[in-house]
Copies of this chain bind each other. A is one copy, B any other.
Amino acid sequence: MHNLVELQEKFEAYFSKRHFPGDPATLYDPAQYFLGIGGKRVRPVMCLMGNELFDEIHPDAFPLATAIELFHNFTLIHDDIMDKAPLRRGMPTVHEKYGEPTALLGGDVMLVTAYEYINRIDTRFLRQVLRLFSTTAKEVCEGQQLDMDFEKAPSVTLDEYIHMIGLKTSVLLAASLRMGAILGGAGEANQRLLYDFGKALGLAFQIQDDYLDAFGDPEKFGKQVGGDIMANKKTFLLIHALETADARQRAEIERLLATDGPGKVESMLALFRACGVDAWARSLKAKYVDEAAGQLERIAVTAHRKKPLADLMEYLVRRER
């Protein structure tokens, strides 16, 4: 059994190489550049953990985890184009550095390369993994489309938002665990419990993300607090504030959304607090953490095998940055 850090290191050792041909460099260097920006590699590590929950790590789990990480990076490259984001982890995005056409095409070849890695796994698992991988890929695209639709929508309900986040974020975490479990020989019931664990964990993770962006300790958060508020992003917090505000508070929120000036973040945070959004977000997160813990509990393997996943959950939802 390996813990989070050990699995991150194992994966990085496998992953940190060039994944593309040399030629044409105008296409493949930009794709490789983006992989070098780094990241916590949470999804591939979850694939390895899902695998090791049931057995020794299967050698095919590494190409599979690589496919998952490449897929995730493909979505980031294309999302950055759609969001016109200039930076990712403090580095220029692909379209910013190499132009939109190359970023578009670089994302495309990254997705195809992900499928090439899937094709390396044992024939026994190939069809099942391929099916889950493609289903998940479509769902992530659906989530991104809904996210864009919501930006333009006059109002979004909490249920709609949870549905969107589930697609955009959670299903890939869930599927990463489950694909690893398939290679570990897990039965259908255990696979499902693990998938549901991942989905609940993903929602808790996103609530934590939204929460930290507003209420995080600036000392620990590492980036400017209030970025979502400045960008008028529809987050868990804003949606709940709009749902619970009285007429006067709602009018004040709407007024702040229409402004850009100094004090916007402080005023919005004060309104969030007045609407009880901070306590509500903590309890909603706790609800999903409990749900995730319940699913993990029910998986039919000995308790000590579950420790890395329990630790991962702690890491993802207790983090302060």
Give chain A's interface residues, CB within 8 Å of chain B: 21, 23-24, 26-27, 78, 81-82, 100-102, 104-105, 107-109, 111-113, 115-116, 119, 123, 126-127, 130-131, 134-135, 137-138, 141-142, 144-146, 148-149
Known: A113-B134, A116-B131, A119-B134. 14 other contacts (CB 8 A): A24-B146, A26-B145, A26-B146, A81-B104, A82-B100, A82-B104, A105-B141, A109-B141, A111-B111, A112-B134, A112-B141, A116-B134, A123-B126, A126-B127
- Sorted nearest first, the 6 A-B pairs with minimum C-beta distance are A27-B145, A82-B101, A112-B137, A109-B141, A116-B134, A119-B130
Whole-angstrom distance from the CB of A111 to the nearest CB of chain B? 6
With a cutoff of 8 Å between Cβ atoms, the chain B residues found around residue A81 in the complex are 101, 104
A24 CA / B141 CA spacing, docked (Å): 10
Inter-chain contact B112/A142, CB cutoff 8 Å: no
6 contacts between A and B (CB under 8 A): A27-B145, A78-B105, A101-B148, A112-B138, A115-B115, A119-B131
Whole-angstrom distance from the CB of A77 to the nearest CB of chain B? 10
With a cutoff of 8 Å between Cβ atoms, the chain B residues found around residue A138 in the complex are 21, 109, 112-113
Whole-angstrom distance from the CB of A264 to the nearest CB of chain B? 26
Most buried by B among A137, A141, A142: A141
With a cutoff of 8 Å between Cβ atoms, the chain B residues found around residue A26 in the complex are 145-146, 149
Q: If the complex has contacts A101-B148, A104-B78, A123-B123, are A115 and B142 also in contact, measured as CB distance less than 8 A?
A: no
Q: If the complex has contacts A104-B104, A115-B115, A137-B112, are A142 and B82 also in contact, measured as CB distance less than 8 A?
A: no
Residue from the list B24, B100, B113, B149 in contact with A149, Cβ < 8 A: B24
A113 CA / B135 CA spacing, docked (Å): 9
Whole-angstrom distance from the CB of A98 to the nearest CB of chain B? 10
Whole-angstrom distance from the CB of A184 to the nearest CB of chain B? 21
